[in-house]
Amino acid sequence: MTQVSIFVGSVYGGAEELAFTLAEEIKSNNHQAQVFLPGTVNDVKNATHLLFVTSTTGAGDIPAELEALYLELTNQFPLLTDIPYGIITLGDSSYDDTFCGAGKKIDVLLQELQAKPCIDKLEVDACEDFEPDKPALIWLECFLKTL
């Protein structure tokens, strides 16, 4: 049984709702899951498996609460050597260059902290998928196989 720590960034609640759906699915696969809104550096350091679920706001920005954690991680720079992680980003391709920018920023930071991507990140485009659950649950199946 694996514990998955889910860190959430959401503006209007879509990513947050998705995170709780994913946590239930993880638990129904006989693993454990905890949702952090958004959690602390210690929560990240103590995690055995990381999952970031975030929307994108502004111009490719991370939602405010998760951004605070992102900045603390950037400042404290705790090495997360080989901790496996996955990322699901919600975005909208009509934002062109900044499409799913939040997930891209988190991906770069986690790699700098030496965490290990266990699967390619998922970018959910609101123009194509009004409900993010469907692509996210398909992606989660692959993520769970890596646990």
Site residues for ligand FMN per CB under 6 A: 10-15, 55-60, 90-92, 95, 98-101, 126
Q: Residue 93 CB, nearest distance to ligand FMN (Å)? A: 7
Decide whether 5 or 89 has the Cβ nearer to ligand FMN.
89
Position 120, amino acid: D
Strand intervals (E) in the chain:
3-9, 32-36, 49-55, 84-91, 116-117, 122-125
Decide whether 57 or 80 has the Cβ nearer to ligand FMN.
57
Q: Residue 112 CB, nearest distance to ligand FMN (Å)? A: 22
- Among all chains, which residue has been given the structure tokens 């920005």? 61
Q: Residue 72 CB, nearest distance to ligand FMN (Å)? A: 21
Q: Which residue is nearest to ligand FMN (CB)?
A: 91
Q: Residue 60 CB, nearest distance to ligand FMN (Å)? A: 4
Cβ 65 vs Cβ 16: under 8 Å = no
Sign of CA dihedral 144, 62, 100, 115: negative
